Amino acid sequence: MGTRLTRVTLSLLLLVIAATQPGPGKAQQIQLSQQTWSAEVIRPRGQPVVPLFDGWFPNEDGTRTLCFSYFNLNTEQSLSIAPGPDNYLSDDRFPAMLPSHFDPLPPAYRHKFCVFTITVPASFGRDETIEWHLSSAGQALSVPGHIKPAFVLDEPAADGRGDIAPLVKLSPMDVGVRGRRGLIAASTLHGKVGQAVALSALVEHPDPEVWIGWAKHSGPGAVHFSALEYMTPTHGTAFSTEATFDAPGTYLIRLQTIDDVAAFEFYCCHTNVYFPVEISD
C-alpha cells in the first residue's frame, strides 16, 4: 500500500514551502519516511511526483466529478510514468485520461491543478474511494478520491469571489466549454517529427485578459512549445501556440486557462481542453 496524501498534507506542504526556490543542496533522493516537510525536500532532481486529490463537484445530472492533480518535487526534472503498474487507478470502471508526463514544479503556482477528472454516478457513496497510484524515484504513493462534503469545489464559478472559469471554443461557431471537466477536441491533429503543429482556440471571460498554459499530457517523446504560458485577450479572441514533437506516436496536449494564475490557490476557476495529436516520421 502506498503512502496516502490528502489535502491536509498538501496544506502543510504549501505552508512550509511558500518560497519554492530550492536550496543549494545536491539532487539526492529523500525517502518520504525520512523527510521533514521543509523547502529542502524540493530539489532540482531525484525526487518523486506526489499524486494529489483537489476535491470534487456535483453535476446537473446527479453525477459527481473528482479532480486529481500532482506535485512534482523537482524544480528541473520532468518525469514520464506510463499507465500501468506505476501509474493506475484502483477502480477501472470509470474512464480517465491519466497523465504520463509530469512537468517540473511551477514556481508561480506550486503544483499542477486538476490535470484530469473522473466522473462517478449518483450512486457513488461518501465512503467509497478511487485511489490514484503513482510510483517514481523509488517511492510508491497514492491518494484517495472521494465525495466527502469538506472537499466540494466551486465549479465553474465561485460566487463569493465573483470568479468564473473562462469559456473556451475550438471554433467561432462552437458553444464552448467552461470548467475542469473540459472537453477533448473531436478532431485529431496530424504532424511530423520536427515540424511545428499549430494549436489554437478562442476564449471569452469578463476580465480583459486571462492566463493560458500548455502542457504535454501524454505521449512518447518530448514536446516543445513556441509559447508555453502567457496572458491573452478575451471576448472571443483567438490564441495559439506551436508544438514540435521529437518522436512519432500518439500525444495528448493539455490546455488550461484561468483568469489569473494566482487564482489556482483558491481551487477555482479554470477550464481544461485536451488536443489529440498524431505524429509520424
Domain endpoint, select from 131, 151, 171: 151
DSSP state of 107: T
Q: Quick check: 161 pLDDT over 90?
A: no
**Which single residue is written with the C-alpha cell 523527510?**
35
DSSP state of 10: H
Cell numbers that stand for 185 in this block: 477536441
**Residue-wise pLDDT tens digits, 215-257:** 999 999 999 999 999 999 998 889 999 999 999 999 999 999 9
**Residue-wise pLDDT tens digits, 46-104:** 999 999 999 999 999 999 999 999 999 999 999 999 999 999 999 989 889 999 999 99
Report pLDDT for 4.
47
Instruction: Assess whether 101 and 221 both reside in one domain.
Output: no
Range of the domain at 130: 3-151
Instruction: Assess whether 43 and 115 both reside in one domain.
Output: yes
Domain endpoint, select from 151, 183, 209: 151
Q: Quick check: 11 pLDDT over 60?
A: no
Instruction: Assess whether 117 and 167 both reside in one domain.
Output: no
Residue 195: which region, alpha, beta or left (left: phi > 0; alpha: psi -120 to 50)? beta
For residue 254, give the CATH number of its domain.
2.60.40.10
Nearest to 274 by CA among 192, 187, 211, 195: 187
How many domains are contained in the chain?
A: 2
**Residue-wise pLDDT tens digits, 120-146:** 999 999 999 999 999 999 999 999 999
Give the C-alpha distances (Å, rounded to integers) separating 138 from 82, 102, 125, 147: 15, 16, 33, 30
Q: How many whole angstroms separate alpha carbon 37 and alpha carbon 16? A: 7
Q: How many whole angstroms separate alpha carbon 98 and alpha carbon 118? A: 10
Domain endpoint, select from 94, 116, 151: 151
> Is the pTM for the entire model greater than 0.75?
yes
**Which single residue is written with the C-alpha cell 491543478?**
113
Instruction: List phi, psi (to 5°) of 263.
Output: -70, -15
